[in-house]
Structure 1
Amino acid sequence: MPSHPPTPARRPRVLAGTSGFSYPAWRGHFYPDDLPARDMLAFYARALGTVEINHTFHRLPTPALLLGWARQTPPPFRFALKAPQRITHHLRLRDAAEVTGQFCTAVGGLGRKLGPLLFQLPPYLRCDASRLADFLAILPPGVECAFEFRSETWFTDEIYALLTKHRAALCIADSETLTTPPIATAPWGYFRLRREDYSQGDLDAWAERIRETARWKRVYVYFKHEDAGRGPALARALLERLGS
């Protein structure tokens, strides 16, 4: 019988952007000099397909705010939202069912434009598998959740197995102080690239890491906000390398 060539691995859909978009310092770099703040999101969404929002870390978004975001962006656009600090820093995932439910219900107002929810834990919170297991059990089904651990004590097989069981993503974060192991725990990936700048070689290496994990159907990547406005250019350069 004739042999058939192996089916090539399906490339993930990659959405890349920055952490935030409303930065006056980006005028003259990414935004036109005279662009009003009210038009920044619409301009941003014509260049990039996703943004990570920090506003939700401090307060729940109002329905009017979510509607405004949705109206200014095209249908494929996705918002990643950072979970409230009350959940991650004050309650530290304990006894958080009520506030987590309120948050998930509120952000549902984005409809199909809702992307992942990022639970960024404080650096001083060390590994506690039972704490994480209890919290994962209260998350509503169908909501994409990523967890960023900023203590290396969390980087264990037990934690990866818990995330995998609940289809939650290990946020792969890269900074001057800590880099998360590139472990896939969900059908989709979440990257936060937090260094001040990335060379062409750095971008090549990160593109290769994303390609290597064929398990992912979809990948979100967010570059750090900085005043020079390099983040959008870095996001587009990464997308070019990935053919997205």
Structure 2
Amino acid sequence: MRAARMDMIHSSQPVFVVGTSGWTYDHWRGRFYPQELPKSRWFEYYASRFSAVEVNATFYRSFKDQTYVNWRQRAPQGFGYVLKAPRTITHRKYLIGVEQDIQDFCRSSALLEDRLEMILLQIAPGVPCDLGRLEKALLAFPDPSKVAVEFRRANWYAMETENLLRGLGAVLCDVDSPRQRLTGVLTAPRAYLRLHGRKRWYSHEYSYAELQEIACLAEELVARGAERVYIFFNNDFEGYAPANALTLLELLGCKPHSDESSPTPSLDA
């Protein structure tokens, strides 16, 4: 892989930000996490290898402000979080009348300060393609350029949608799944690839050839103007996600993230 323009993960502004969707899976013990490593140190271990994590727990429930403060404090230098927006916004209210919900969530997530990388807004399959509805929701965020939008309904994938996202500076979440393949569509200076698995949702182990293909696409996005490319593996079964992510880092010429001088306080949430 080309080394040009590839800042190492050690740098404060890496070109490629690679991680997994979550880190607390019990079935990763003995596969990714050493068998004897206590669960209280799993985050420390994860953060020594990856520079970001996608937090899906925020989709399912709300957290106290202190939890966000703890997340910020425990993250080593250069480590960031992507938070999945609450399902109340996307899967219950279907983006209708959600301005206050978005503002409340963003107020809490802002407690992460510079550790907050992106917000993932996953649009439920039941949400019809309504550009006005999407635009209104995106404008409720303090900075739409830090929002990656993942669609679960095919008719959202249209030039009109891309143009709306470009106009707001929002990011199209490029999805790899049994239903679709990565497209390489770029709507903002940031790119976001979300890898669910190709043959099976969440339980597909990407082959070396498939990872080479993903690495080439990531490099192509940078060549086309992407300043940062976020890549998260959501194939958590059997520890495939961290294994695939580590291989991808190697293919991209990046080193594992680490900062031994940073404290790692415990998280009570």
Give TM-score scaled by structure 1 length.
0.92
Shift of 1:177: 1.7
Shift of 1:90: 1.1
Shift of 1:63: 2.1
Q: Aligned runs of 1:133-148 on 2, under 5 Å?
A: 133-141=135-143, 144-148=146-150
Amino acid at match of 1:221: I
Q: Aligned runs of 1:93-242 on 2, under 5 Å?
A: 93-141=95-143, 144-195=146-197, 196-213=204-221, 214=223, 215-242=225-252
Match in the other structure for 2:27: 25
Amino acid at match of 1:236: L
Shift of 1:61: 2.3
CA distance in 2, matches of 1:221, 1:234: 11
Shift of 1:139: 1.8
CA RMSD of the aligned region, Å? 1.7
> Contact 1:18 / 1:231 at 8 angstroms: preserved in 2?
yes
Structure 1 residues 136, 52: CA separation in 2 closer, same or farther (over 3 Å shift)?
same
SS of residue matched to 1:65: helix
Measured against aligned partners, the alpha-carbon deviations of 1:122-164 in whole angstroms (never above 9, x if no partner) come to 1232311111122222221376000000111011111001101
Range with bigger deviation, 52-61 or 109-118 = 52-61
Matched-pair identity in %:
36
CA distance in 1, matches of 2:196, 2:38: 27
> Contact 2:195 / 2:235 at 8 angstroms: preserved in 1?
no
Give TM-score scaled by structure 2 length.
0.83
**Unmatched segments (≥5 aa) in structure 2:** 7-13, 198-203, 255-269
CA distance in 2, matches of 1:56, 1:79: 11
SS of residue matched to 1:191: strand
Equivalent residues, number: 237
> Contact 1:25 / 1:228 at 8 angstroms: preserved in 2?
yes
Amino acid at match of 1:240: E
Match in the other structure for 1:5: none
Shift of 1:178: 2.4
Range with bigger deviation, 93-102 or 61-70 = 61-70
Amino acid at match of 1:198: Y
CA distance in 1, matches of 2:68, 2:141: 21
Amino acid at match of 2:228: R
Range with bigger deviation, 196-205 or 29-38 = 29-38
Range with bigger deviation, 178-187 or 208-217 = 178-187
Shift of 1:110: 0.7
> Contact 2:144 / 2:170 at 8 angstroms: preserved in 1?
no
Q: Aligned runs of 1:77-96 on 2, under 5 Å?
A: 77-96=79-98
> Contact 2:82 / 2:117 at 8 angstroms: preserved in 1?
yes
Shift of 1:22: 0.5
SS of residue matched to 2:148: strand
> Contact 2:32 / 2:242 at 8 angstroms: preserved in 1?
yes
CA distance in 2, matches of 1:172, 1:233: 21
SS of residue matched to 2:181: coil
Shift of 1:204: 0.8
Match in the other structure for 2:267: none
Structure 1 residues 242, 180: CA separation in 2 closer, same or farther (over 3 Å shift)?
closer
